[in-house]
Amino acid sequence: MHHGEKAIILGGGIAGKLAARVLSDFYQEIIVIERDEQPSGPFPRKGAQQGSHIHALLQAGEHGLEKLFPGITEKFYTTGAVKINSTRDLAWFHHGVWKLRYEGGYTTTLQTRPHLEWHLEQSIKMFPNVTILYNHSFQDFEYNENENRIIGVRIKAGNLVKTIFADLVVDAIGAGSMTASWAKGRGIPVPEEKVKIGLRYVSRTFQLPAERNRDWTIKLLYPNPPQEKIGGMISKVEDNQYIVTFIGYHDAINEKEVLQNENHFIELAKKLPKNDIYQELKDAAPLTGISVFRIPQMTWRKYEKVKQLPDGLMLIGDTMCRMDPFFGQGMSIAVLEALALQKLLQNKNQSQQQMIRAFHKQAAKIIAPIWSMVTTENFRYPATIGRRPFGLPIMQWYSKNIFLLSARDQETYHSFVKVMNLLSPITALMKPRILFRILTRMFSRIS
């Protein structure tokens, strides 16, 4: 044990569980404070309501999970997750064209988030120095103002409030974390970037008619911005069920209307760029109610820039950055952050505080290129409000060309698949060969 005796993790979601796994190798005792009750199986839960919506685990996330929990991917499959060939079994309509379909070298795991999280939960329970306190809600930090140090937390279970002291407190409460306002209240502002996207998710799970031949396992119908604002996804998951998720930017979906009258759900399928999902839904049997989720904005809280951040406090996952989830990166970012944390902890020559500072910087390096990629797409809508990335028109022009080439050029699509799955940096799409193809495409259209 290198850094300290005891670490507390606030929030037992994906990032909280991953942090617990990593810290368990370096701290004697890890206590996870989780507001929800102990799950009895892979079911959606109150504290992670996004679990009723399609959750894609990108390949960088899947590889990282396997490193942290060897054998977990196989467990996903033996309990119902669906293994697909990433480019053959995914039908993806994007910017007005279908992407190429071919048997590439990558696989993707389709499953519900509760299924994934249930297995993480079971795996983390195998670590004897990790305790999860369910039905416990974080109330406040125990703060030593003289030393500017977090020394513990106050937590509540029923009417009982208690204090636990620790060497390290990790905030993994997610997008609803109050740490930034807590710090601001003590004269420690946390710089924040927000991009307003007015996004709604509405989802429902279905049984599709079995007799139909389908040449896809997951189908994505992306809106072509700026004219189209509504997109749809249908994905096979455990038990031969299919989750259908509609998304709408800039308030294009009125979720109250959908909840009041369930016919509005299927009506959304008619607003998509293609009627494929409608064709499936008109003969499908709903298995669940309709779930909605509002994501008014993306938020990036830049803790790496806070010089006076109290010692003993670390942040991970959505607490730091909530992306536009339509791009399916949140869980994978949490995995990459956990791996970065593991690497930093292995360096025994730095203090805990140096490690925390280095971690926040590393996390920012993980987030920055993804943020830039995602906001480049968000700003195709004039109604998007926020700081525009540098060189936006060129980036939008370039990425649009990549999307269009992905419909007919296998090498370009393959490079894009790797970038999209966070396996390659974005510069992989700027190789001379790809640039040449883009220019050829452009000149052939002009002549």
Contacts to ligand FAD by CB under 6 A: 10-16, 33-36, 47-48, 50, 53-56, 137-138, 172-174, 176, 201, 293, 295, 317-319, 325, 328-332, 334
Structure tokens of 441?
Answer: 């495409």
DSSP state of 99: P
CA distance 262 to 285: 13
Closest Cα partner for 111 from 70, 65, 67, 68?
65
Q: At what angle do helices 410-420 and 392-405 cross, to 10 degrees?
A: 120
Helix (H) / strand (E) containing 201: strand 192-207
Query: Cβ 431 to ligand FAD, closest distance in Å?
Result: 27
Query: Cβ 255 to ligand FAD, closest distance in Å?
Result: 12
CA distance 14 to 146: 34
CB closer to ligand FAD out of 359 and 398? 359
Closest Cα partner for 50 from 292, 263, 307?
292
Query: Cβ 19 to ligand FAD, closest distance in Å?
Result: 9
CB closer to ligand FAD out of 16 and 273? 16
CB closer to ligand FAD out of 34 and 280? 34
CB closer to ligand FAD out of 50 and 376? 50
Query: Cβ 16 to ligand FAD, closest distance in Å?
Result: 6
CB closer to ligand FAD out of 29 and 62? 62
Query: Cβ 175 to ligand FAD, closest distance in Å?
Result: 6
CA atoms within 13 Å, Cβ hemisphere of 346: 7
Closest Cα partner for 117 from 13, 245, 236?
13
CB closer to ligand FAD out of 218 and 405? 218
CA distance 389 to 378: 11
Query: Cβ 435 to ligand FAD, closest distance in Å?
Result: 30
DSSP state of 381: S
